[in-house]
Amino acid sequence: MMKRILVGLLAATAMAAAGGAWAEEPVKVGLILPMTGGQASTGKQIDAAVRLYMQQHGDTVAGRKIEIILKDDATVPDNTKRLAQELIVNDKVNFIAGFGITPSALAAAPLATEAKVPEIVMAAGTSIITERSPYIARTSFTLAQSSVIIADWAAKNGIKKVVTLVSDYAPGADAQNSFKERFTAAGGQVVEELKVPLASPDFSPVLQRAADAKPDALFVFVPAGQGGTFAKQYSERGLDKAGIKLIGPGDVTDDDILNNMGDSMIGTVTAHFYSATHPSAMNKDFVAAYKKLMNGQRPGFMAVGGYDGIHLIYEALKKTGGKTDGDALIAAMKGMKWESPRGPISIDPDTRDIIQNIYVRRVEKVGGELYNVEFATVEAVKDPIKAAKK
């Protein structure tokens, strides 16, 4: 009898040592996304990219199964907060991830701190977010990263007078302020600063004011998914033919919708971290696999934030040997470097924010489709707003 128990115990130990996942609970990731509401295109892209990554890399890491619990916050930050609370308290998730807009990422931050649960920001782009909790790491971008680069490009390319037009919330303010500071320091002039509401914006009145100011360029930031509405009103007002160059961070020409925005977008110059036509082998494979999963739909930059976000979770778990202690996971993420479909990236060990290349791109027709064609690269860009605080 005793011998049989001993043999049984030995067998169990051997199985566990061999990495048998049977004894362990799954690692739970609460993925909170806007699957409906104004930013639904962001939710759709990130959800797809996470599923793609898991198809390609399997659903077991360091002997532990990964379970994704997807929740739709409908682009409402109060929902994000309630869902994060429920996921942490009831589902006992080991990570919260996603966050389609800045107010959602901010709403969850105190909960991440209190529960010591890593919050992986895959979409939102306001600088301040990563400062709101030591448990936040970001795989998306900051608006300032792109806005200062397009300011440099504009100043060097004969643009002197600019009107800015941004979505009236935190990332819009970051985009506008970081552009203006850099552009005016280089001798440029911002002659008018226009804003539109985040929800259901009507661009017509502001576009009229922009046209009346007769600037050399219109700098525009609208969040992912809104570029289509913007482009329609932009060409209806004839701004594409008024000799005003369209510039900005690349959110407005999101690959997810760019090809349907019409030829009035051709010649638009933006700075951004991802183009579906980024010329790397890894990106070609990523685009092909994403299209296969999504009925031919092209991945946009939000998809890449999601793909890298789940990669960060996998790699952190590998480093901790499957342990889910929040402090150990965040420590594992700091300084991590890898190749993304966007190019080389890393997590800044000081700020937990992303360091990445920013590419200057021009909308062109390639093989009958509109693409953001990269023509210049600024390597390893840190968030300029946080860098300036140092």
Rule CB under 6 A: which residues touch ligand PHB? 101-102, 123-126, 171, 223-224, 251
Write down the least CB distance from residue 251 to ligand PHB, Å. 4
Provide the minimum distance between the beta carbon of 146 and ligand PHB in the complex, in angstroms, as a whole number. 10
Cβ distance to ligand PHB smaller for residue 164 or 324 = 164
Q: How far is the CB of 52 from ligand PHB (least distance, A)?
A: 20
Distance CA 208, CA 39 (A): 26
CB of 328 to ligand PHB, least distance (A): 28
Structure tokens at 280: 């790397």
Q: Which two tokens stand for residue 122?
A: 């895959």
Q: Which is nearer to ligand PHB, 118 or 171 (CB)?
A: 171
DSSP state of 268: -
| CA dist., res. 193 & res. 191, Å (int) | 7
Nearest distance in Å: CB 384, ligand PHB: 16
Whichever of 87 and 224 has its CB closer to ligand PHB, that residue is 224
Q: What is the DSSP string of 30-99?
A: EEEE-SSSTTHHHHHHHHHHHHHHHHHH-SEETTEEEEEEEEE-TT-HHHHHHHHHHHHHTS--SEEEE-
DSSP secondary structure letters along 339-382: EETTEEEEE-TTT--EEEEEEEEEEEEETTEEEEEEEEEEEEEP
Q: Which is nearer to ligand PHB, 32 or 317 (CB)?
A: 32
Q: From CA 292, how far away is CA 344, in angstroms rounded?
A: 24
Minimum gap (Å) between residue 128 Cβ and ligand PHB:
10
Judged by beta carbon, residue 42 or residue 264, the one nearer ligand PHB is 42
Closest approach of Cβ 302 to ligand PHB, in Å? 7
CB nearer ligand PHB, residue 188 or residue 223: 223
Residue 271 CB coordination number (10 Å):
27
Nearer to ligand PHB, 66 or 194 (CB): 194
Q: Which residue is nearest to ligand PHB (CB)?
A: 223
| C-alpha dihedral (116, 122, 125, 127), degrees to nearest 10 | 30
Q: Cβ closer to ligand PHB: 40 or 266?
A: 40
CB of 143 to ligand PHB, least distance (A): 6
* Helix or strand (DSSP H, E) at 200: none
- Say which amino acid occupies 120: I
Asked if 140 contacts 250 with a C-beta cutoff of 8 angstroms, the reply is no
